[in-house]
Structures are given as C-alpha cells and as structure tokens.
Amino acid sequence: MAYSRANGLDIFYQLHGQGDPMLLIHGVAGTGQNDWKYQIAVFSERFQLIVPDLRGHGRTDHPETITGPSYFELAASDLVALVSSLNLGPVHVCGFSLGAGLAAWFVHAAPSLVKSLILVSAAARVNRDIGRGLFDLWEKLGDLRNVSPSRAKKLALLHGEQQWPVLLRKYSAAVLARFNEDEDIIYRRASEILCPTLIIQGGKDFVNPPSLSKEIVAGISDSELVVLECEHWVPGLLPQEFNEAVLDFLDRRFPQESSP
C-alpha cells in the first residue's frame, strides 16, 4: 500500500500500468478501487493510472477532516500534492460526480499539471430548482435512517464500521453549506479551462440533470459531450460504452501517447 503526505494527511493511492499518466478521482462515499473497478484493468493497458482514495474515504480515512464548505478546495489540493509528489505530470484527469468537481478545481489550482480533462456525471452549478435530485441525495446522506442494511454493510467494508457514518454526516453538511452559499461548481470559471475536455453524462441521470453537463460544454471552448443512456454511475452501469468513449477521445486527441 502506498501513501503520500498532503495537508497533514496520508493520502492512499494505487498505481496501475505503464504509459501516459491518468488520475482517476472517485465520487462521494466511494473509493478509487470501487468506483473505477471496470476501468482499471482496461485503462492500465495503455496508461499509468493514479487511483487515490479521497480525504475522508477508504484507506485515506479521517472523515472528521471533512469540515465545512472548504472541503472541496482542500481535497483538490490533496490531489495536486499527490501528483506533484509522484513527479508524473502533466496527467489526464478523470473524475466522477464529486470527483468531476474536484477535477475542475484541480485544473484551476494547477493547470500545468493537466493534459486533458474527463468529467463524468458533472454539474456546472447546483441550486434547488435545477438540482433537486442532488439536494435530496445530500440531505438523505446526513440521516443514517435512510441507509439500508445492505448499503451500510457495503459502506462499512469500504470505509470502516466506525468511519462511514461520520463520512456521510460530514460530507452532507459540507456540501449543503457550500451550495446553499454558492451554487457554482464549474460554471463561472469554465472558460478558464483550456485543455481538451470530454464530458460524459448519463441521459437518465435523475441526480445530476443532463442539462448541467450541457452548460459545461457550452462554457469550455475545447470540449465535447457524450451522452450514454443510463443513470448516474455511468462507469459502472455502461462500462464498455464508457471505456470506449474515453479511449476514443484520448486516441483522437493524443494519438501517439495512448497507442498500445
């Protein structure tokens, strides 16, 4: 197991494969290994994957460090520190859901470390009118009575029996505080993202409406959108189609680097 020290915390990560480096950023209450389990074997044939567990998640642990709306910038800076410590940049940055927001913050924090951006199930901005599903999800996360026994068992395996309830409560409070105060995720600074960008969205996503991904495409000059007919967890629900979309994008934009 490998750890990198960042912002007073030991960040767990795994490296897979050889080639051009790619950072895979998981979603809330997930882990790198779990959220990307259908991608790691495929992508590592052509890329060197950096697969961390975010602050408060999995083997990085310490969910108590998810404190308020500043969590997102802090978690993104953890990832910048990780990539910098490995001396592997610039990297292709691929993030799912929460990880997509962190991927965008990564670009703003360290644009020279980013070769391309892949945003999966991303939101340009969130308010209760256009992102009701997201607010419902976050509010339910904070009430452990909404967690089924089977879900609780899985969360305990991923994060630890004592840690997962803290993770859900702290993250829920942090994200609600952030977006009640400021609905922007990528929207206002989208024009600052200059690297080639692929947005992949589930056409049946009730958590993150497809319209929010379309706003990102409109804001990033060098971007393209792929819509796959599934719900939120696109990499797990349609893994073959997702993998093909990512590899096609990288083959076209970086043909020499992504070739086997």
Tell me the domain boundaries of the chain: 2-253
The residue behind tokens 């609780």 is: 152
229: helix, strand or coil:
coil
- Find out whether 52 and 94 touch, Cβ atoms under 8 Å: no
- Each residue's pLDDT tens digit, 58-101: 999 899 999 888 898 999 999 999 999 999 989 999 999 999 99
**Residues of the chain where predicted confidence (pLDDT) is lower than 70:** 1, 257-260
**CATH 3.40.50.1820 holds for 2-253:** yes
Alpha-carbon dihedral 43, 45, 49, 52, rounded to 10 degrees: 70
Q: Cα(27)–Cα(100) distance, rounded to whole angstroms?
A: 8
Q: Cα(70)–Cα(136) distance, rounded to whole angstroms?
A: 21
